[in-house]
Structure 1
Amino acid sequence: MDITIRLRHFRKMEAHDLRVMQEFNCPIVPVYAKVSRMIKWTVSDVGMLKLNVNGESCGNLGMLGGGGVIWDSQGRVLVGFAHLYGQATNTIVECRALLDGLRLCRSLGLRDLLVESDSTVVVGWMASGISKYWFLWDFWEEVKMLVRLLKVRVRHNFREANMVADFLAKE
């Protein structure tokens, strides 16, 4: 059988093939297929506002900034914010940006929110209602209270779909 045909249908290396490759000192590099998908920002449901938040740091324990933007259901910007937090960890700045965004919504009387963040850690905490770090518990209790008060739904989004909040966090 032609080797190119065998390679085209190659899925898994058998043990004897592996030994032969090792005897000849041939490097074995696994190849994984990458799945591409379209990432884009979308508007919220009719009648619902959207809060995109992001925290940025220049390295872990570097200078931190957080920012966000509130949109209406037609994709129009209502208000944005940016804050400098000093030095802390990435997780603290993501949580602080979320808290500042929720505080802003409360002060403006906004409810029925979809919150999007590119932090899988913070989104996971919001889904479970539990923050794993004791040093965030003060922030976290207020976040949980505001989530209930403002009727918040939370969703993860990718950094590429969170560019406005990302830009504000770097300001």
Structure 2
Amino acid sequence: MGGEDREVMERLACPFIPISSKPIKLITWSPLDRGRIKLNVDDGSCGNLGAAGGGGILRDYKGDVIGGFVHTYGHATNTIAECRAVYDGLWLCRQLNVWDVLVESDSVVIVGWLASGICKYWFLWNFWEEVKIMVRELNVRFRHIYREANMVADFLTKQGSQSLMSDFNDASSIHGRIRGSIRLDKIGLPYLRK
């Protein structure tokens, strides 16, 4: 707003509320170096104690699907569902004999726990101990990412929250919209984050 406009607004005793805008960031899913594998996991809960599910997808350095899962967890909190999704994703890596994995999640809480090796909730300790064992076995690293870079896992999670369950070993058995997101990730099309 220009100086004259501001002066008129002040004379008329109209409140002036400045509008601030956040810069928009371009967020992309990024592949790893040749020979490396990435597991993206996510959780979802309809209410923070509600129908919960998790999903995850394993991709190689080209972005090609190696495997993935959609699981339902009954009624649970977001934290329980996220912990279960990490567990299920690592279990899938073990089943497929996939090692040296980077796990990405948009859960700051879970990634923080994984970095410190400490789970704060006693009722998750059984899962947590198994997760720690698989982390050592599979040479796993963890990284927090924005939700926009985790859209494929987010779509899979929504299916899990709707009581759908499946494991898959390639992209052919994945819902069309999710296959489209996988293609967009492969070509590096960015998502917008405010």
Smaller-chain TM-score bracket: 0.7 to 0.9
Residue deviations 1:113-138 (CA, integer Å, cap 9, x gap): 01001111101111111111111111
Measured after TM superposition, the shift of residue 28 of structure 1 is 7.4
Measured after TM superposition, the shift of residue 27 of structure 1 is 5.6
Structure with the larger RCO, 1 or 2 (CA within 8 Å, 6+ apart): 2
Amino acid of the structure 2 residue aligned with 1:4: G
In the alignment, what sits opposite 1:105? 93
Q: 1: CA distance between counterparts of 2:53 and 2:113?
A: 21
SS of aligned partner of 2:110: helix
**2:139 paired with 1:151:** yes
- Extract unaligned runs of 5+ from structure 2: 160-194
**2:20 paired with 1:4:** no
Q: 2: CA distance between counterparts of 1:123 and 1:148?
A: 16
Following TM superposition, the consecutive aligned residue runs of length 4 or more in structure 1 with deviations greater than 2 angstroms are 25-33
Amino acid of the structure 2 residue aligned with 1:38: L
- Which of 25, 30, 50 in structure 2 is aligned with 1:37? 25
**2:125 paired with 1:126:** no
- Extract unaligned runs of 5+ from structure 1: 8-20
Residue deviations 1:38-69 (CA, integer Å, cap 9, x gap): 11111122211000001111111110111100
Cα RMSD for the two superposed structures? 2.0
**2:78 paired with 1:90:** yes
In the alignment, what sits opposite 2:63? 75
Q: 1: CA distance between counterparts of 2:118 and 2:155?
A: 28
Q: 2: CA distance between counterparts of 1:168 and 1:33?
A: 32
Amino acid of the structure 2 residue aligned with 1:133: Y
Q: Looking at CA atoms only, which structure, 1 or 2, has the larger radius of gyration? A: 1
- Which of 131, 142, 167 in structure 1 is aligned with 2:155? 167
**What is the number of residues matched between the two proteins?**
153
Give the 5 Å matches for 1:14-53.
Answer: 32-53=20-41
Task: State the TM-score, normalized to the length of structure 2.
Answer: 0.72
Amino acid of the structure 2 residue aligned with 1:100: D
Measured after TM superposition, the shift of residue 35 of structure 1 is 2.8
**2:99 paired with 1:114:** no
Aligned-pair identity in percent equals: 60
SS of aligned partner of 2:27: coil
SS of aligned partner of 1:162: helix
Label 1:27 to 1:4 Cα distance change in 2 as closer, same or farther (>3 A). closer
Give the 5 Å matches for 1:132-147.
Answer: 132-147=120-135
